[in-house]
Structure 1
Amino acid sequence: MPVSDPGQDADDPSSGQVGDPGRPPWHGRRRQVWLAGGVVASVALIAGVVLWAGSPGGPRTADDPAPHAADGLPHTSVEVSRSSCGQGWVHPQPGTQVFDLRNTSSGAAEVDLLDPTTGAVYGEVEGLAPGTTRPMRVVLGNGAYAFKCLPDDADAVTGPTVRVAGGSAARGPAAVPVTAHDLIPPTLAYQQWIQARTVELAQRTDALKDAVDAGDLAAARRAWLPAHLVYERMGAAYGTFGDADSAINGTTAGLPGGLADPGFAGFHRVEYGLWHGGSAASLRRPADALAEAVRALRDGWPQERMDPADLGLRAHEILENTLQRELTGRTDYGSGSNLATARANLDGTRELLGRLRPLLAARFPELPRLDSWLDRTQHTLDSFDRGGTWAPLGTLPRADRQRINSDMSELVERLAPVAALCDVRRTT
């Protein structure tokens, strides 16, 4: 990782510095509410750790505030069950605090702390097993709150409304849960966009195939990258493509025969031949198979249906995969075009965010900062484009590699809240 200048603003994408160079990329798949701003819950999900189930500090009178635990924060023990959701919170106070959620029922449950009027969620804990206690750390401002308990295989139960007063800060933002119904319009719009890309992909892949068939390998090398980049911009749909993805864009990963394995097919198989002295005759069959797979994808796509629940997750995963594959050089089979592919992946992420923006605008205060990091990362990548000829990753000085990895890593972290906020949540 690059060494940062301590005199620069770690949150400013124009400063050239990542907020914390030591942070690992976000790879979690558990749902968390990622909310920004002053009066927002910070949910701590500590799997497998059971904290004490009672109130620390011994007995209290009715006028005692919540006691402090070893972490120095006031703790309140709150009961979670179908009949007693939220019971125990009788001394509301503003500021940072911990609710120790005790599941006294016989089944697992999810627990949300929300605005009872709007349903906006300030904090949540998933998978609270029966007989266990887990913490929910929050920062509360003035306003009304209630716990909602969502037991497995049972209707949701909302506990009593509790009003917090006396805080110095105004009530901050929260995230209204995204439902499957909310995600249907952007998913349908994105599917239509993919349909248009499959048509373009087929046209460009046919041009690549025609050049190979004609024995013009120089023209085939020129046609390869434009065709490949069309596919790389379609990253959010890969899961719906199924086996077609391996046929179109597979690598040697997991293939026992490596480069000689019969399962090595698609763009990268053709790439390897074009940049490693393969003859036109040896490339005709792989190029024909690639074009056939692309046409099958184009013709079959109108019958496919993307899962709306995947949309937000893919917005994060596209560039996470870019970090792991393209920026490590693992997917370079001779063309040296990893940076061009990373740039296409960035285009694909932008397209997906554009579909999700109406949902994110009211839920994600950090969206403008995310946009700034998208712009910064695009500018960094574009600096290695020489009129359509991209600098091979392996030829870059260490400082340039560090700058690219730093920008992309920070961008991936800033995309993680999109995945969390667009995760479909149960509300009833």
Structure 2
Amino acid sequence: MPITARPLLAALLLPAGAVLPAAAQAPEPVAVTVTDKGCEPAALTVPAGRSVFRISNKSRRVLEWEILEGTMIVEERENIIPGFVQSLSATLAPGSYQMTCGLLSNPKGTLTVTAAATQAAGAPDPMALVGPLAAYKLYVMSEVDAFLGRTRAFTEAVKAGQIPQAKALYTEARRHYERIEPVASLFNDLDKSMDVRADDFELKEADPGFIGFHRIEKGLWADNSTAGLDPHADRLLADATELKRRIVDLTVPPAKMVGGAAALIEEVAATKISGEEDRYSRTDLSDFHANVEGSRKIFDLLRPLVSARDPDFVARTEKNFSRVEALLAKYRAEDGSFAPYDRLSERDRNALKGPITVLAEDLSTLRGKLGLD
């Protein structure tokens, strides 16, 4: 599908009535508390433009707080630990949104954004990002094509009862998904269907809502059986097909592309490093590597823009990427496969966590450097 500058440029600009406040006009934080039952308050109203939300986790589980427009994730803050408070900055156009509130079974909150009277200065130059966005869309399309093909082969092996083949294909399919997770996870319904974990439900593995990759993963590794997995395989393939359909028509939001470089690494540092991602198959290192690949792709596309503003940052971040890649390479065999994650000692995991955390912290400043915060 040809990609033109016009739809990409349109995505860089907020709809009429939206406001991009000047840097000096820092908004007052909006407090949101998430309990085991939902959000308090359950309804919020903010003016268009930049808002800062302070999310307090008073539930018993690590959670992510998302702002949704329909099924699309507009902004999110992941890995909020019980008892902690994290902030999320979001520039919102007028309209009605929803807020996720802990467990998937909890009711969603409502967020109303009202139009503001004036247009303030501070918007980034939209033309500067057109080229990187177009190149990234091509990369995402290539990866989603490969993802759909591998997922089709994976689900066919599951339905045929071919456990060894299905296990091999599981890792291959997820590799393509993890590279483009910042875009794939924009669609809240598909993300929760394909990549949900048992911890997102009160009944955990026994909950009927526990479906997708990790439900099948449990069957293949923990149960060593494909019994009862046919409906899950069919649903996963249907979701992968729908994901490709939506991405074809998607203009990638610039803030999501730029912020995705950090988001991919932050998730590894915050939660995946514990081994909670692929807890049955122990293929976590393959996911880590794919996350780093996807993050580096974004960084490489943005390198010319960022170099003009902060060459020292580019040099430092490149060094940090190389360090993380070298550490992961220690656990990779000649055939490209990675060691099972449970073979790594606590010392090995800590050796990974330090450089990954440093890389995440550097990449978290990318949006600000390009005027997208």
Give the TM-score normalised by structure 1.
0.57
Equivalence map 1:329-348=2 (5 Å): 329-348=275-294
1:385 — aligned with what? 332
- What one-letter code is carried by the residue in structure 2 that aligns with 1:412? A
The alignment partner of 1:263 has SS state of: coil
The alignment partner of 1:355 has SS state of: helix
2:41 — aligned with what? none
Q: Does the 8 Å CA contact 1:250/1:265 hold for their aligned counterparts?
A: yes
Equivalence map 1:311-326=2 (5 Å): 311-326=257-272
Among 281, 289, 292, the residue aligned to 2:235 = 289
Q: CA deviation at 1:238?
A: 3.3
Among 249, 274, 298, the residue aligned to 2:195 = 249
Among 184, 191, 210, the residue aligned to 2:137 = 191
The alignment partner of 2:199 has SS state of: coil
Among 273, 286, 303, the residue aligned to 1:327 = 273
Judging changes above 3 Å, is the alpha-carbon distance between structure 1 residues 179 and 260 closer, same or farther for their aligned structure 2 residues?
Answer: farther
Q: Does the 8 Å CA contact 2:183/2:256 hold for their aligned counterparts?
A: no
Alpha-carbon distance in structure 1 between the residues aligned to 2:233 and 2:222: 15
- What one-letter code is carried by the residue in structure 1 that aligns with 2:363? L
Say whether 1:215 aligns with 2:158.
no
2:250 — aligned with what? 304
Equivalence map 1:99-110=2 (5 Å): none
- What one-letter code is carried by the residue in structure 1 that aligns with 2:330? S
Judging changes above 3 Å, is the alpha-carbon distance between structure 1 residues 206 and 177 closer, same or farther for their aligned structure 2 residues?
Answer: same
The alignment partner of 1:282 has SS state of: coil
Q: Does the 8 Å CA contact 2:264/2:295 hold for their aligned counterparts?
A: yes
- What one-letter code is carried by the residue in structure 2 that aligns with 1:410? V
Alpha-carbon distance in structure 2 between the residues aligned to 1:47 and 1:379: 43
Q: CA deviation at 1:400?
A: 1.3
2:345 — aligned with what? 397
Alpha-carbon distance in structure 2 between the residues aligned to 1:156 and 1:255: 43
Among 359, 366, 370, the residue aligned to 1:418 = 366
1:265 — aligned with what? 211
Judging changes above 3 Å, is the alpha-carbon distance between structure 1 residues 239 and 32 closer, same or farther for their aligned structure 2 residues?
Answer: farther
More helix by share: 2
- What one-letter code is carried by the residue in structure 2 that aligns with 1:307? P
| Cα offsets for 1:121-154 (capped at 9, x unmatched) | xxxxx9xxxxxxxxxxxxxxxxxxxxxxxxx855
- What one-letter code is carried by the residue in structure 2 that aligns with 1:369? R
Q: Does the 8 Å CA contact 2:163/2:224 hold for their aligned counterparts?
A: no
The alignment partner of 2:280 has SS state of: coil
1:37 — aligned with what? none
Say whether 1:372 aligns with 2:319.
yes
Alpha-carbon distance in structure 2 between the residues aligned to 1:341 and 1:303: 26
Q: Does the 8 Å CA contact 1:327/1:393 hold for their aligned counterparts?
A: no
Q: CA deviation at 1:197?
A: 1.3
1:144 — aligned with what? none
The alignment partner of 1:240 has SS state of: coil
- What one-letter code is carried by the residue in structure 2 that aligns with 1:400? D
Q: CA deviation at 1:239?
A: 4.1
The alignment partner of 2:308 has SS state of: coil
Q: Does the 8 Å CA contact 2:155/2:234 hold for their aligned counterparts?
A: yes
Gaps of 5+ in 1: 1-30, 34-42, 49-107, 110-125, 127-151, 158-175
| Cα offsets for 1:216-246 (capped at 9, x unmatched) | 1111111110111110011221343331112
The alignment partner of 2:365 has SS state of: helix
> How many residues are treated as equivalent by the alignment?
268
Gaps of 5+ in 2: 1-20, 30-48, 51-88, 90-115
Alpha-carbon distance in structure 2 between the residues aligned to 1:202 and 1:32: 43
Judging changes above 3 Å, is the alpha-carbon distance between structure 1 residues 264 and 289 closer, same or farther for their aligned structure 2 residues?
Answer: same
Identity rate, percent: 27
Q: CA deviation at 1:310?
A: 2.4
Q: Does the 8 Å CA contact 2:22/2:120 hold for their aligned counterparts?
A: no
Q: CA deviation at 1:319?
A: 0.4
Judging changes above 3 Å, is the alpha-carbon distance between structure 1 residues 178 and 156 closer, same or farther for their aligned structure 2 residues?
Answer: closer
Q: Does the 8 Å CA contact 1:212/1:280 hold for their aligned counterparts?
A: yes
Q: CA deviation at 1:156?
A: 6.0
Give the TM-score normalised by structure 2.
0.65
